[in-house]
Amino acid sequence: MAESKTNFDVVIVGGGPGGYVAAIRASQLGMKVAVVERDKLGGICLNWGCIPTKALLRNAELYNLMNNAEEFGITVKDLSFDFEKVIKRSRKISERISKGVEFLFKKNKIEHISGFGKINEKGKVGIYKKKEDKKPEKTLTAKHIIISTGARPRSIPDVDIDGKKILSYFEAMVPKEVPKSMIVIGAGAIGVEFAYFYNAFGTKVTLVEMMPTILPVEDKEVTKVVADKFKKSGMDIHTETKVEKIDTSGKGVKVTVSGKDGKKQDLKADVALMAIGVQGNIVDIGLDKVGVKTEKGHIKVDEYYRTNVDGIYAIGDVIGAPWLAHVASHEGIVCVEKIADAETHPINYDNIPGCTYCQPQVASIGLTEDQAKEKGYAIKVGRYPFRVHGKAIAAGETDGFVKLIFDSKYGELLGAHIVGSEATELIAELGMAKTLEATKEEIVRTVHAHPTLAEAIMEAAGDAYGESIHT
């Protein structure tokens, strides 16, 4: 193959939300770019995570809404669903978005090379048809190599995810039928979203979480709202509960758990979903050959995503938490801007929004109330419930609230937490506010359109200082 087709300024191994965004930005900056991706462009996020799961959750939301249509004076007779079509819609949306990335590659003259990429030596990436192959089909050369190989589902010790009785999110997204019962192990964002989805379509769901609350990284007041809503919908929730073993020898699964008191019990269901998190794909990509340092299962990098080996960088899930698509994308942009000597700034990881797309939705940024206190801040906390909010009442979406945490001394916004309808959209205003180091005064004095759910943000800010008008 001609050298011009194998020699690049930047070669990116992995075409997920970190890799493909980095590629586009690098091309915009005038670099010749290749992306090595064994599967469809878009990675787990576009093909098996962020986008298709939100399609499934939208189906669940609509089905729940139709089941409660009488509240709006609408009669729906003989309501039913076609689960095969529910799944097909999700897959079609995923394919559409992936093809959109292919178009962007062509538009930006980015080379997409199909295969497994491994760093064989500094400045060289071998392309393999199969991961276990010893000899590469071809070798790419580049001054800069960015590792963006993403992550895979993690399991508990001595438990294999067989894809039949013990599922990962891969299998949970494409079932042939709705299971009658499911045990979800892990109540972080992934576990909670799937619990909501399957419960909506009639599965008896049991959530098991080691930590004291579901969604353990969120503010405690927020998690209580979601837990109460889930319990009302028929879910069983076991917190501070550890999985001891899983038995798949019978018809379904038997999960033995132990509670805070040490007592064991057996939970039974048709299937179990393993949702305890992910681990970076750092094995068999050549890190040992070039001496790239890793730590606790992820690649060590500096604030501009440079590894200890000159010319090799890493972004996204392979460098550890937070395992979020939007974080990977921004890391990719900062990384290539630094490579190009363009103006850029390190990411402030204190300003990363987190979102969970069940109903009610959850979104947050910054410190929880407990974290702010632990850090020694004197704080003012404002809350505004949707149950008294005009737009929320009109929409029939009165669950939840907005909670804002301010530094008493300077009035700076330290943390924002929303649980309720459209929380994942509303958080953007607070992300901007926090980036600009906004104070209560600036939020309250910003005129919010009426009637909107966003007014609740203004009201919560006012409440922190005794100025809320509608509470």
Residues classed as catalytic: 450
* CA pair distance 241, 367, nearest whole angstrom: 26
DSSP labels, 146-198? EE---EEE---TT----SSSEE-HHHHTS-SS--SEEEEE--SHHHHHHHHHH
Q: Which residue has the tokens 């189906």?
A: 59
* CA pair distance 313, 348, nearest whole angstrom: 19
* CA pair distance 209, 240, nearest whole angstrom: 6
**Secondary structure class of 356 (helix, strand, coil):** strand
* 127: exposed, middle or buried (Cβ count in 10 Å: 0-12, 13-18, 19+): buried
Can you name the residues that pair with 117 across neighbouring β-strands?
127
DSSP labels, 59-127? HHHHHHHHHTGGGGT----S----HHHHHHHHHHHHHHHHHHHHHHHHHTTPEEEESEEEEEETTEEEE
208: nearest Cα among 230, 232, 191, 229:
191
DSSP labels, 239-286? -S-EEEEEE-SSSSEEEEEE-TT--EEEEEESEEEE-S-EEE--TTSS
* CA pair distance 51, 173, nearest whole angstrom: 11
* CA pair distance 146, 282, nearest whole angstrom: 13
Contact 377, 414 (CB under 8 A): yes
Contact 142, 9 (CB under 8 A): yes
| 220 contacts: CB under 8 Å, gap ≥ 6 | 213, 368, 369, 370
Task: Pull the structure tokens for residue 167.
Answer: 């599922």
φ, ψ dihedrals at 11, nearest 5°: -115, 125
